[in-house]
Amino acid sequence: MSILARIRQINRRRALGWAAFSYAVAVLSGAFLGAEITLRSKTRRVKGEFVPVGRRGNSVYLPASSETLSRGVVGIVPLLPNQGHALLGPPRLVGTLVRREILEERGVLPNGALAWVSTFVYNGTPQQVGISYDSTLIRTEVGQMPAWHIPAVSGEKDAIAIVIHGHGGQRPQALRMLPALRRSGVAALFVTFRNAHGAPRVGKGYLSLGDQEAEDVIAALHWARDAGYRRAVLYGFSMGGNIALSALRPRHQPYPIPVAGVALDCPALDWRDTIRSNGQRYGIPGFMARHIGNFVQYLVTRRSGQDFDVVDQLAAASSFNLPIVLWHGTRDATIPIRQSDALAAARPDLVEYHRVEGAKHIRCWNIDPEKYDAQLEAFVRRVLPGLPSPSLNSPLSLQGDSNA
């Protein structure tokens, strides 16, 4: 009997039933996984790869991978032996290897070392950038949140930047921008929030995608006031951007100290859109991604009580009243760039928008560090007039403080 004849003998109703069952299982499995990632995602280590290093003079040769081939600047930390840190320039494929030139080097990156390489550039503390800092704790209603305090170069307690990492992220991811913040004249407070790695667990450990985490940012402003600071800017990455904007809601005002502006790097502005987009990111057909996305939202709400309207920053855009500087990469596969496009279009009176061609999620700095740093410094000095003008090294400098 031919294959066609066998197919004709199959009971169509039974086949459709099995197909529907299989589809439902796939959708539900994807939704349960998506809900778990949405609610609990956190990592112990900064994302990167471990690779062997070949070095000739100022050139470094690495195995080809998605990380080592990434556009723009990457950081590399030798593990065996651990003798320093270096910034590497853009990649060039040489046979089966990736060649990058050393832009800045602190310590020694030896030939033959096993090293961590990452587009997040740093994986340690501000000391890795050569900058002195204090580890501190932010007192909140749910516990003590760990933070790094980096005083201003001038020593004055005038203005401070509250730096907020993202979903599943860690504080080292923003160390790339610390030298620029220092040059702008502000102090910095790198904070974390409830249910993130290293922070207190609250309830079942579920994230609220920016809503309750904003309370921890308000607590950081209280800390800054008690430490003697008089004004602040908020600086959020990915979900940290949503947290920063959630802190602008009327229920959090008046602030402990005035907030003069907000910096956003690839912010998550619409979680419904983000969840749907991440389904399609893994090759799931559009119609299935929509179904999975809808079930993820349902499961998240059922498990945690999440109100997606509360963290919809595009819907809240008309209520914002502070200057915003915004970066987003055109190759961002985590948070669709259309969200930042929409915010910039909705509030051109407030938003200074930098649409970075070729940048992945929170990798805008890597494409052109000097340009990004200049934009950040100019924004900080615009919204916080009267800051001192410290004289530091170049935008890529790893030298930091002379006494570090």
The reported pLDDT for the residue numbered 24 is 57
Can you give the pTM of this predicted structure?
0.90
Please tell me the least confidently modeled range out of 144-148, 228-232, 299-303, 382-386. Answer: 299-303
The topology (CATH level 3) of 49-118 is Thrombin, subunit H (2.40.10)
H-helix or E-strand containing 63?
Answer: strand 59-63
* 386 pLDDT more than 90: yes
H-helix or E-strand containing 147?
Answer: strand 143-150
* Mean pLDDT confidence for 256-280: 93
**Of 138, 128, 333, 322, nearest in space to 235 by CA:** 322
Q: Tens digit of pLDDT for each residue in 97-125?
A: 999 999 999 988 999 999 999 999 999 99
Mean pLDDT of the chain: 89
Round to whole Å and give the CA distance between 231 and 189.
13
DSSP annotation of 256 reads: S
Strand partners, 356: 329
* 89 pLDDT more than 60: yes
SS3 state of residue 295: helix
Residue with tokens 């299982």: 25
* Superfamily of structural domain 126-270+312-383: Alpha/Beta hydrolase fold, catalytic domain (3.40.50.1820)
Token couple for 353: 């928008």
> CATH 2.40.10.170 in the chain, residues?
49-118
> CATH 3.40.50.1820 in the chain, residues?
126-270+312-383
Cα 15 to chain centroid distance, Å, stands at 46
**Of 234, 227, 207, nearest in space to 157 by CA:** 227
CB atoms within 10 A of CB 307: 12
* Mean pLDDT confidence for 127-141: 96
pLDDT grade, residue 264 (50/70/90)?
very high
Residue 121 and residue 363 in contact, taking contact as beta carbons nearer than 8 Å: no
End-to-end, the C-alpha distance of the chain in Å comes to: 81
Query: Strand locations in 252-339, DSSP E?
Result: 259-265, 324-329
Token couple for 137: 């704790």
